[in-house]
Amino acid sequence: MFPFSLLKIIGKMVVDKSPKLDYCNKVILAPMVRVGTLPTRLLALEMGADIVYSEELIDLKLVKCKRIINELLNTVDYIDPTDGTIAFRTCDLEKPFVVLQMGTSDATRALAVGQLVQNDISGLDINMGCPKEFSIKGGMGAALMAQPDKATHILKTLVDNLKIPVTCKIRILPNLQDTVELVKKLASTGISALAIHARTRDERPQHNPHPDFIREIVKHVSIPIIANGGSRDIQKYADILKFRLDCNASSVMVARAAQLNVSIFRKEGLLPMDEVIFRYLKLSVDYDNSPHNTKYGIQSILRDLQMTPRGKKFLQCQTMQQMCEIWDLGDYCRNKELEIFRRGKVGRRKVMPDQVIDNDVVEGETVTKKPKTENKTETSVIEENISFLRCNYSSDVRLFPKSVLYTYANKHNKLPACYETEGQNKLFRSMCKFDGKLYRSTFWQKNKRQAEQAAALVCLKHIGLVAEEELIKNGSILR
Protein backbone atom coordinates (compact mmCIF):
# COMPACT_ATOMS: atom_id res chain seq x y z
CA MET A 1 0.00 0.00 0.00
CA PHE A 2 2.79 2.43 0.88
CA PRO A 3 4.80 4.12 -1.88
CA PHE A 4 8.33 2.72 -2.06
CA SER A 5 9.82 6.16 -1.53
CA LEU A 6 8.14 6.32 1.88
CA LEU A 7 10.58 3.69 3.10
CA LYS A 8 13.00 6.48 3.89
CA ILE A 9 10.50 7.67 6.51
CA ILE A 10 10.78 4.31 8.23
CA GLY A 11 14.52 4.93 8.29
CA LYS A 12 13.84 8.08 10.31
CA MET A 13 11.82 5.99 12.75
CA VAL A 14 14.78 3.69 13.35
CA VAL A 15 17.26 6.53 13.82
CA ASP A 16 15.09 8.64 16.11
CA LYS A 17 14.63 6.62 19.30
CA SER A 18 13.64 9.62 21.40
CA PRO A 19 10.33 9.06 23.20
CA LYS A 20 9.47 12.74 22.79
CA LEU A 21 9.06 14.71 19.60
CA ASP A 22 12.00 17.11 19.15
CA TYR A 23 11.07 20.51 17.71
CA CYS A 24 14.62 21.76 17.13
CA ASN A 25 16.12 22.12 13.63
CA LYS A 26 12.96 20.96 11.88
CA VAL A 27 11.15 21.84 8.67
CA ILE A 28 7.44 21.43 9.35
CA LEU A 29 4.16 21.18 7.43
CA ALA A 30 1.88 23.81 8.99
CA PRO A 31 -1.70 23.11 10.07
CA MET A 32 -4.06 24.05 7.23
CA VAL A 33 -7.82 23.52 7.24
CA ARG A 34 -8.96 21.10 4.50
CA VAL A 35 -5.36 20.61 3.39
CA GLY A 36 -3.62 18.79 6.23
CA THR A 37 -5.39 15.44 5.91
CA LEU A 38 -3.56 12.11 5.88
CA PRO A 39 -2.63 12.02 2.14
CA THR A 40 -1.00 15.46 2.30
CA ARG A 41 0.80 14.68 5.53
CA LEU A 42 2.23 11.42 4.18
CA LEU A 43 3.28 13.09 0.95
CA ALA A 44 4.97 15.91 2.89
CA LEU A 45 6.94 13.35 4.89
CA GLU A 46 7.90 11.57 1.69
CA MET A 47 9.12 14.86 0.27
CA GLY A 48 11.31 15.62 3.28
CA ALA A 49 9.25 17.34 5.97
CA ASP A 50 10.40 16.47 9.48
CA ILE A 51 7.09 17.06 11.29
CA VAL A 52 3.54 17.32 9.94
CA TYR A 53 0.57 19.03 11.59
CA SER A 54 -3.02 18.00 11.02
CA GLU A 55 -5.63 20.51 10.00
CA GLU A 56 -7.27 22.23 12.96
CA LEU A 57 -9.80 19.86 14.55
CA ILE A 58 -12.38 21.22 16.97
CA ASP A 59 -12.59 19.68 20.44
CA LEU A 60 -16.40 19.53 20.39
CA LYS A 61 -16.17 17.30 17.30
CA LEU A 62 -13.34 15.10 18.53
CA VAL A 63 -14.58 14.52 22.05
CA LYS A 64 -17.60 12.54 20.83
CA CYS A 65 -15.64 10.47 18.32
CA LYS A 66 -15.08 6.72 18.57
CA ARG A 67 -11.61 5.31 17.97
CA ILE A 68 -11.72 2.48 15.43
CA ILE A 69 -8.96 0.30 14.02
CA ASN A 70 -9.47 0.12 10.25
CA GLU A 71 -7.72 -3.14 9.35
CA LEU A 72 -8.25 -2.77 5.62
CA LEU A 73 -6.51 0.62 5.40
CA ASN A 74 -4.09 0.00 8.29
CA THR A 75 -5.29 3.22 9.88
CA VAL A 76 -6.73 4.47 13.13
CA ASP A 77 -9.98 6.32 12.50
CA TYR A 78 -11.77 8.73 14.81
CA ILE A 79 -15.37 8.46 13.66
CA ASP A 80 -18.29 10.74 14.45
CA PRO A 81 -20.94 8.20 15.52
CA THR A 82 -23.81 10.48 14.49
CA ASP A 83 -23.08 10.25 10.76
CA GLY A 84 -20.14 7.86 10.34
CA THR A 85 -17.80 10.52 8.96
CA ILE A 86 -14.06 10.46 9.65
CA ALA A 87 -12.96 13.35 11.86
CA PHE A 88 -9.30 12.27 11.97
CA ARG A 89 -7.47 9.45 10.26
CA THR A 90 -3.87 8.51 10.98
CA CYS A 91 -1.50 5.55 10.59
CA ASP A 92 1.66 4.08 12.09
CA LEU A 93 3.76 5.42 9.24
CA GLU A 94 3.25 9.03 10.32
CA LYS A 95 2.86 8.49 14.06
CA PRO A 96 6.42 9.53 15.06
CA PHE A 97 6.05 12.82 13.20
CA VAL A 98 2.40 13.87 13.41
CA VAL A 99 1.03 16.67 15.59
CA LEU A 100 -2.72 17.08 15.95
CA GLN A 101 -3.79 20.70 16.10
CA MET A 102 -6.90 21.33 18.16
CA GLY A 103 -9.25 24.27 18.39
CA THR A 104 -10.51 24.67 21.93
CA SER A 105 -11.67 27.20 24.50
CA ASP A 106 -12.06 24.85 27.44
CA ALA A 107 -9.30 23.11 29.43
CA THR A 108 -11.44 20.18 30.58
CA ARG A 109 -12.70 19.39 27.10
CA ALA A 110 -9.22 19.82 25.63
CA LEU A 111 -7.82 17.35 28.14
CA ALA A 112 -10.53 14.81 27.34
CA VAL A 113 -9.56 14.98 23.67
CA GLY A 114 -5.86 14.84 24.48
CA GLN A 115 -6.30 11.69 26.53
CA LEU A 116 -8.39 10.16 23.74
CA VAL A 117 -5.83 10.70 20.96
CA GLN A 118 -2.44 10.76 22.67
CA ASN A 119 -1.57 7.14 21.90
CA ASP A 120 -1.93 7.76 18.15
CA ILE A 121 0.04 11.01 17.75
CA SER A 122 3.39 12.42 18.83
CA GLY A 123 2.31 15.94 19.77
CA LEU A 124 -0.75 18.07 20.51
CA ASP A 125 -0.93 21.71 19.43
CA ILE A 126 -3.46 24.31 20.54
CA ASN A 127 -4.51 26.84 17.92
CA MET A 128 -4.21 30.30 19.45
CA GLY A 129 -3.67 32.29 16.29
CA CYS A 130 -6.49 31.62 13.83
CA PRO A 131 -8.19 34.94 12.96
CA LYS A 132 -11.27 33.38 11.33
CA GLU A 133 -14.66 34.48 12.62
CA PHE A 134 -15.70 30.91 13.44
CA SER A 135 -12.76 30.47 15.81
CA ILE A 136 -13.04 33.92 17.38
CA LYS A 137 -16.77 33.62 18.11
CA GLY A 138 -16.16 30.26 19.76
CA GLY A 139 -13.48 31.70 22.01
CA MET A 140 -10.83 29.74 20.14
CA GLY A 141 -7.87 30.67 17.96
CA ALA A 142 -6.72 34.28 18.22
CA ALA A 143 -9.41 34.96 20.85
CA LEU A 144 -7.19 33.14 23.36
CA MET A 145 -4.38 35.65 22.79
CA ALA A 146 -6.65 38.27 24.36
CA GLN A 147 -7.21 35.97 27.37
CA PRO A 148 -3.69 34.91 28.41
CA ASP A 149 -4.81 33.52 31.77
CA LYS A 150 -7.30 31.23 30.09
CA ALA A 151 -4.75 30.27 27.45
CA THR A 152 -2.13 29.36 30.04
CA HIS A 153 -4.67 27.37 32.05
CA ILE A 154 -5.50 25.25 29.00
CA LEU A 155 -1.83 24.64 28.23
CA LYS A 156 -0.88 23.88 31.83
CA THR A 157 -3.75 21.42 32.18
CA LEU A 158 -2.56 19.56 29.10
CA VAL A 159 1.15 19.66 29.98
CA ASP A 160 0.49 18.28 33.47
CA ASN A 161 -1.79 15.46 32.38
CA LEU A 162 -0.60 14.21 28.97
CA LYS A 163 2.38 12.03 28.12
CA ILE A 164 3.05 13.68 24.77
CA PRO A 165 4.53 17.14 24.07
CA VAL A 166 2.10 20.06 24.08
CA THR A 167 2.64 23.17 21.95
CA CYS A 168 0.66 26.16 20.75
CA LYS A 169 0.61 28.39 17.69
CA ILE A 170 0.03 32.13 17.91
CA ARG A 171 0.30 35.32 15.87
CA ILE A 172 2.28 38.37 16.87
CA LEU A 173 0.56 41.26 18.61
CA PRO A 174 0.83 44.79 17.16
CA ASN A 175 3.26 45.71 19.91
CA LEU A 176 6.55 43.81 20.18
CA GLN A 177 6.86 44.03 23.96
CA ASP A 178 3.30 42.79 24.44
CA THR A 179 4.13 39.82 22.18
CA VAL A 180 7.27 39.05 24.18
CA GLU A 181 5.34 39.10 27.45
CA LEU A 182 2.63 36.83 26.05
CA VAL A 183 5.19 34.33 24.76
CA LYS A 184 7.01 34.28 28.09
CA LYS A 185 3.73 33.58 29.89
CA LEU A 186 2.79 30.77 27.52
CA ALA A 187 6.29 29.26 27.72
CA SER A 188 6.09 29.18 31.51
CA THR A 189 3.39 26.47 31.30
CA GLY A 190 5.98 23.87 30.29
CA ILE A 191 5.03 23.58 26.62
CA SER A 192 7.65 21.96 24.39
CA ALA A 193 7.68 24.55 21.61
CA LEU A 194 5.79 27.57 20.33
CA ALA A 195 4.98 28.39 16.71
CA ILE A 196 4.61 32.04 15.75
CA HIS A 197 3.00 33.38 12.59
CA ALA A 198 4.90 36.58 11.89
CA ARG A 199 1.77 38.64 11.20
CA THR A 200 -0.86 40.16 13.44
CA ARG A 201 -4.43 38.92 13.73
CA ASP A 202 -5.62 41.54 11.21
CA GLU A 203 -2.83 41.08 8.65
CA ARG A 204 -3.20 38.80 5.65
CA PRO A 205 -0.78 37.04 3.25
CA GLN A 206 -0.42 40.17 1.10
CA HIS A 207 1.10 41.98 4.08
CA ASN A 208 4.80 41.71 4.83
CA PRO A 209 5.69 39.35 7.70
CA HIS A 210 7.68 40.66 10.67
CA PRO A 211 10.71 38.39 11.19
CA ASP A 212 12.21 41.09 13.45
CA PHE A 213 9.52 40.32 16.05
CA ILE A 214 10.49 36.64 16.11
CA ARG A 215 14.21 37.49 16.31
CA GLU A 216 13.53 39.49 19.46
CA ILE A 217 11.19 36.89 20.98
CA VAL A 218 13.81 34.16 20.62
CA LYS A 219 16.08 36.08 23.01
CA HIS A 220 13.60 35.82 25.87
CA VAL A 221 12.61 32.12 25.99
CA SER A 222 14.49 28.84 26.06
CA ILE A 223 11.94 26.63 24.28
CA PRO A 224 12.13 26.12 20.50
CA ILE A 225 10.42 28.85 18.50
CA ILE A 226 8.95 27.78 15.16
CA ALA A 227 8.73 30.58 12.57
CA ASN A 228 5.72 30.68 10.26
CA GLY A 229 4.39 33.15 7.69
CA GLY A 230 7.12 33.31 5.07
CA SER A 231 5.42 31.43 2.23
CA ARG A 232 5.07 34.51 0.02
CA ASP A 233 8.84 34.50 -0.52
CA ILE A 234 9.35 30.74 -0.50
CA GLN A 235 9.85 29.37 -4.01
CA LYS A 236 12.34 26.59 -3.27
CA TYR A 237 13.72 24.62 -0.33
CA ALA A 238 16.59 27.06 0.24
CA ASP A 239 14.04 29.84 0.80
CA ILE A 240 12.60 27.89 3.75
CA LEU A 241 15.99 27.90 5.43
CA LYS A 242 16.49 31.58 4.60
CA PHE A 243 13.24 32.52 6.36
CA ARG A 244 14.27 30.49 9.38
CA LEU A 245 17.62 32.31 9.43
CA ASP A 246 15.93 35.71 9.05
CA CYS A 247 13.83 34.89 12.13
CA ASN A 248 16.71 33.24 14.03
CA ALA A 249 14.18 30.54 14.92
CA SER A 250 14.79 26.96 16.02
CA SER A 251 12.57 25.59 13.25
CA VAL A 252 10.37 26.76 10.42
CA MET A 253 6.80 25.93 9.47
CA VAL A 254 5.50 26.11 5.88
CA ALA A 255 1.85 26.60 4.95
CA ARG A 256 0.80 28.10 1.59
CA ALA A 257 4.00 27.21 -0.25
CA ALA A 258 3.39 23.57 0.69
CA GLN A 259 -0.28 23.80 -0.22
CA LEU A 260 0.67 24.93 -3.72
CA ASN A 261 3.37 22.29 -4.17
CA VAL A 262 4.21 19.96 -1.31
CA SER A 263 7.50 19.05 -2.99
CA ILE A 264 8.78 22.36 -1.59
CA PHE A 265 10.20 20.10 1.15
CA ARG A 266 12.54 18.39 -1.35
CA LYS A 267 16.14 19.52 -1.00
CA GLU A 268 16.68 18.28 -4.57
CA GLY A 269 14.09 20.72 -5.96
CA LEU A 270 10.43 20.92 -6.90
CA LEU A 271 8.72 18.08 -8.75
CA PRO A 272 6.51 18.75 -11.79
CA MET A 273 2.93 19.58 -10.89
CA ASP A 274 1.46 16.47 -12.54
CA GLU A 275 3.76 14.17 -10.60
CA VAL A 276 2.75 15.83 -7.33
CA ILE A 277 -0.94 15.45 -8.21
CA PHE A 278 -0.41 11.82 -9.25
CA ARG A 279 1.25 10.95 -5.93
CA TYR A 280 -1.36 12.86 -3.93
CA LEU A 281 -4.22 11.16 -5.77
CA LYS A 282 -2.73 7.72 -5.25
CA LEU A 283 -2.42 8.30 -1.51
CA SER A 284 -5.98 9.64 -1.46
CA VAL A 285 -7.18 6.42 -3.09
CA ASP A 286 -5.07 4.24 -0.78
CA TYR A 287 -6.55 5.88 2.30
CA ASP A 288 -10.13 6.28 1.04
CA ASN A 289 -9.89 10.05 1.34
CA SER A 290 -13.03 12.09 0.74
CA PRO A 291 -13.42 13.05 -2.96
CA HIS A 292 -14.50 16.52 -1.90
CA ASN A 293 -11.35 16.97 0.19
CA THR A 294 -9.13 15.46 -2.51
CA LYS A 295 -10.60 17.79 -5.12
CA TYR A 296 -9.86 20.81 -2.92
CA GLY A 297 -6.26 19.69 -2.56
CA ILE A 298 -5.81 19.36 -6.33
CA GLN A 299 -7.47 22.72 -6.95
CA SER A 300 -4.87 24.28 -4.66
CA ILE A 301 -2.13 22.79 -6.83
CA LEU A 302 -3.71 23.65 -10.20
CA ARG A 303 -4.49 27.28 -9.36
CA ASP A 304 -4.89 29.21 -12.65
CA LEU A 305 -4.66 25.99 -14.65
CA GLN A 306 -8.23 25.23 -13.56
CA MET A 307 -9.27 27.40 -16.50
CA THR A 308 -7.51 25.20 -19.07
CA PRO A 309 -9.53 22.50 -20.91
CA ARG A 310 -8.15 19.81 -18.63
CA GLY A 311 -8.73 22.00 -15.57
CA LYS A 312 -12.34 22.59 -16.53
CA LYS A 313 -12.82 18.87 -17.04
CA PHE A 314 -11.39 18.31 -13.58
CA LEU A 315 -13.75 20.87 -12.04
CA GLN A 316 -16.69 18.79 -13.30
CA CYS A 317 -15.47 15.74 -11.35
CA GLN A 318 -17.37 14.61 -8.29
CA THR A 319 -15.91 11.14 -7.69
CA MET A 320 -12.42 9.87 -7.02
CA GLN A 321 -12.76 7.69 -10.10
CA GLN A 322 -13.39 10.67 -12.37
CA MET A 323 -10.40 12.57 -11.00
CA CYS A 324 -8.14 9.54 -11.30
CA GLU A 325 -9.06 9.02 -14.95
CA ILE A 326 -7.49 12.40 -15.77
CA TRP A 327 -4.16 11.42 -14.21
CA ASP A 328 -4.04 7.81 -15.51
CA LEU A 329 -5.04 6.23 -12.22
CA GLY A 330 -8.49 5.08 -13.30
CA ASP A 331 -7.87 1.33 -13.11
CA TYR A 332 -5.95 1.67 -9.85
CA CYS A 333 -8.79 3.64 -8.25
CA ARG A 334 -11.46 1.25 -9.51
CA ASN A 335 -9.67 -1.82 -8.16
CA LYS A 336 -8.98 -0.19 -4.79
CA GLU A 337 -12.56 0.97 -4.29
CA LEU A 338 -13.84 -2.48 -5.27
CA GLU A 339 -11.52 -4.04 -2.71
CA ILE A 340 -12.93 -1.80 0.02
CA PHE A 341 -16.50 -2.38 -1.13
CA ARG A 342 -16.25 -6.17 -1.42
CA ARG A 343 -14.63 -6.62 1.95
CA GLY A 344 -17.44 -4.66 3.56
CA LYS A 345 -15.20 -2.40 5.58
CA VAL A 346 -15.94 1.16 6.64
CA GLY A 347 -15.77 3.28 3.51
CA ARG A 348 -17.29 6.42 2.06
CA ARG A 349 -19.96 4.48 0.18
CA LYS A 350 -21.18 2.81 3.39
CA VAL A 351 -22.06 5.99 5.30
CA MET A 352 -25.67 5.83 6.43
CA PRO A 353 -27.88 7.81 8.80
CA ASP A 354 -27.74 6.80 12.45
CA GLN A 355 -24.50 4.93 11.87
CA VAL A 356 -23.26 3.81 15.27
CA ILE A 357 -20.18 2.12 16.59
CA ASP A 358 -20.94 -0.98 18.62
CA ASN A 359 -18.28 -1.81 21.20
CA ASP A 360 -19.09 -5.50 20.86
CA VAL A 361 -18.32 -5.79 17.16
CA VAL A 362 -14.95 -6.57 15.65
CA GLU A 363 -12.69 -3.53 15.46
CA GLY A 364 -12.95 -1.83 12.10
CA GLU A 365 -16.54 -2.91 11.47
CA THR A 366 -19.72 -0.91 11.92
CA VAL A 367 -23.34 -1.74 12.43
CA THR A 368 -26.26 0.43 11.43
CA LYS A 369 -29.64 1.04 12.94
CA LYS A 370 -32.65 0.15 10.85
CA PRO A 371 -34.56 3.28 9.81
CA LYS A 372 -37.83 3.54 11.68
CA THR A 373 -39.73 4.39 8.51
CA GLU A 374 -39.25 1.07 6.70
CA ASN A 375 -42.14 0.22 4.36
CA LYS A 376 -44.13 -2.91 5.12
CA THR A 377 -43.66 -4.05 1.52
CA GLU A 378 -39.87 -4.09 1.98
CA THR A 379 -39.48 -7.50 0.32
CA SER A 380 -40.90 -6.16 -2.95
CA VAL A 381 -38.47 -3.26 -3.22
CA ILE A 382 -35.82 -3.52 -5.94
CA GLU A 383 -32.63 -2.04 -4.49
CA GLU A 384 -29.20 -1.27 -5.92
CA ASN A 385 -26.23 0.69 -4.61
CA ILE A 386 -26.47 3.30 -7.36
CA SER A 387 -25.57 6.93 -6.77
CA PHE A 388 -26.83 9.91 -8.75
CA LEU A 389 -23.75 11.96 -9.69
CA ARG A 390 -24.65 15.41 -11.02
CA CYS A 391 -21.41 15.67 -12.98
CA ASN A 392 -22.53 12.82 -15.27
CA TYR A 393 -25.31 14.96 -16.74
CA SER A 394 -25.36 18.07 -18.88
CA SER A 395 -27.46 21.12 -18.11
CA ASP A 396 -30.27 19.64 -20.23
CA VAL A 397 -32.80 18.45 -17.63
CA ARG A 398 -34.45 16.23 -20.25
CA LEU A 399 -31.48 13.86 -19.89
CA PHE A 400 -31.83 13.48 -16.12
CA PRO A 401 -33.09 10.07 -14.89
CA LYS A 402 -36.47 11.39 -13.69
CA SER A 403 -37.10 13.15 -17.01
CA VAL A 404 -36.09 10.10 -19.02
CA LEU A 405 -38.43 7.93 -16.95
CA TYR A 406 -41.26 10.46 -17.35
CA THR A 407 -40.82 10.52 -21.15
CA TYR A 408 -40.77 6.72 -21.24
CA ALA A 409 -44.03 6.55 -19.26
CA ASN A 410 -45.78 8.97 -21.62
CA LYS A 411 -44.59 7.11 -24.70
CA HIS A 412 -45.86 3.78 -23.39
CA ASN A 413 -49.13 5.09 -21.88
CA LYS A 414 -48.10 4.38 -18.31
CA LEU A 415 -48.70 6.45 -15.20
CA PRO A 416 -45.79 8.74 -14.30
CA ALA A 417 -43.49 7.59 -11.52
CA CYS A 418 -44.15 8.90 -8.04
CA TYR A 419 -41.56 9.34 -5.28
CA GLU A 420 -41.55 9.04 -1.52
CA THR A 421 -38.48 10.40 0.27
CA GLU A 422 -37.18 9.85 3.79
CA GLY A 423 -34.55 12.06 5.40
CA GLN A 424 -32.32 11.34 8.36
CA ASN A 425 -29.36 13.34 9.71
CA LYS A 426 -29.10 15.46 6.57
CA LEU A 427 -29.07 12.42 4.26
CA PHE A 428 -31.93 11.40 1.95
CA ARG A 429 -33.21 8.30 0.19
CA SER A 430 -36.21 7.98 -2.12
CA MET A 431 -38.58 5.24 -3.21
CA CYS A 432 -39.64 5.32 -6.86
CA LYS A 433 -43.01 3.69 -7.64
CA PHE A 434 -43.41 2.90 -11.32
CA ASP A 435 -45.55 0.41 -13.22
CA GLY A 436 -46.54 -1.45 -10.06
CA LYS A 437 -42.98 -1.87 -8.75
CA LEU A 438 -40.84 -0.10 -6.14
CA TYR A 439 -37.25 0.97 -6.79
CA ARG A 440 -34.73 2.41 -4.36
CA SER A 441 -31.03 3.10 -4.15
CA THR A 442 -29.26 1.91 -1.01
CA PHE A 443 -26.98 4.94 -1.43
CA TRP A 444 -28.05 7.92 0.68
CA GLN A 445 -27.82 11.29 -1.09
CA LYS A 446 -27.17 14.80 0.23
CA ASN A 447 -30.53 16.24 -0.81
CA LYS A 448 -34.06 15.21 -1.75
CA ARG A 449 -33.73 15.96 -5.48
CA GLN A 450 -30.63 13.80 -5.87
CA ALA A 451 -32.29 11.01 -3.88
CA GLU A 452 -35.22 10.98 -6.31
CA GLN A 453 -32.87 10.95 -9.29
CA ALA A 454 -31.00 7.99 -7.79
CA ALA A 455 -34.23 6.04 -7.32
CA ALA A 456 -35.22 6.80 -10.93
CA LEU A 457 -31.79 5.62 -12.05
CA VAL A 458 -32.35 2.25 -10.36
CA CYS A 459 -35.65 1.97 -12.20
CA LEU A 460 -34.09 2.90 -15.55
CA LYS A 461 -31.46 0.22 -15.13
CA HIS A 462 -34.03 -2.47 -14.41
CA ILE A 463 -36.28 -1.59 -17.33
CA GLY A 464 -33.29 -1.56 -19.66
CA LEU A 465 -32.96 2.15 -20.46
CA VAL A 466 -29.52 2.47 -18.83
CA ALA A 467 -26.80 -0.14 -19.18
CA GLU A 468 -24.99 -1.43 -16.12
CA GLU A 469 -21.67 -1.04 -17.96
CA GLU A 470 -22.34 2.68 -18.39
CA LEU A 471 -23.10 3.11 -14.68
CA ILE A 472 -19.93 1.27 -13.72
CA LYS A 473 -17.85 3.36 -16.09
CA ASN A 474 -19.13 6.70 -14.83
CA GLY A 475 -18.75 5.74 -11.17
CA SER A 476 -22.46 5.59 -10.30
CA ILE A 477 -22.25 1.94 -9.36
CA LEU A 478 -19.59 -0.41 -8.02
CA ARG A 479 -19.45 -4.03 -9.13
**pLDDT tens by residue, 365-389:** 333 333 444 444 445 899 988 888 8
pTM of the model: 0.78
pLDDT mean over 240-259: 98
Q: Work out the average pLDDT over 377-403.
A: 82
The residue count of the chain comes to 479
Write the secondary structure of the chain as one string of H (helix), E (strand) and C (coil): CCCHHHHHHHHHHHHCCCCCCCCCCCEEECCCCCCCCHHHHHHHHHHCCCEEECCCEEHHHHCCCEEEEECCCCEEEEECCCCCCEEEEECCCCHHHEEEEEECCCHHHHHHHHHHHCCCCCEEEEECCCCCHHHHHCCCHHHHHHCHHHHHHHHHHHHHHCCCCEEEEEECCCCHHHHHHHHHHHHCCCCCEEEEECCCCCCCCCCCCCHHHHHHHHCCCCCCEEEECCHHHCCCHHHHHHHHHHHCCCEEEECHHHHHCHHHHCCCCCCCHHHHHHHHHHHHHHCCCCHHHHHHHHHHHHHHHHHCHHHHHHHCCCCHHHHHHHCCCHHHHHHHHHHHHHCCCCCHHHCCCCEECCCCCCCCCCEECCCCCCCCCHHHEEEECECCCHHHCCCCHHHCHHHHHHHHHHHCCCCCCEEEEEEECCEEEEEEEECCEEEEECCCECCHHHHHHHHHHHHHHHCCCCCHHHHHHCCCECC
Q: What is the pLDDT of residues 52-85, one digit of tens each?
A: 999 999 999 999 999 999 988 999 999 988 767 8
In this predicted structure, the answer to whether residue 466 has a pLDDT above a threshold of 90 is yes
Q: Which fold has domain 3-271?
A: TIM Barrel (3.20.20)
Q: Any idea where the domains of the chain sit in the sequence?
A: 3-271, 272-351, 381-474
Question: Does residue 414 have a pLDDT over 60?
Answer: yes
Rounded mean pLDDT of the chain?
88
Identify any residues that bridge with 28 across adjacent strands, giving them in sequence order.
Answer: 51, 253
Known catalytic residues are 130
pLDDT tens digits for 4-15?
A: 355 445 444 444
Residue 350 has what pLDDT? 45
CATH topology of domain 381-474: Double Stranded RNA Binding Domain (3.30.160)
pLDDT at 83: 67
What confidence score (pLDDT) does residue 188 get?
98
Instruction: For residues 390-402, give the mean pLDDT.
Output: 85
Q: What's the confidence (pLDDT) of residue 475?
A: 74
pLDDT tier at 479, thresholds 50, 70, 90: low
The whole-angstrom separation of Cα 421 and Cα 451 is 7
pLDDT of 249 reads 98
Taking residues 426-452, report their average pLDDT: 90
Burial of 462 by CB count in 10 Å (0-12 exposed, 13-18 middle, 19+ buried)? middle
In Å, how far from its chain's centre is CA 90? Answer: 11
Q: Of 117-126, 219-228, 283-292, which range is least confident?
A: 283-292
Lowest mean pLDDT among 111-120, 375-384, 444-453, 468-477: 375-384
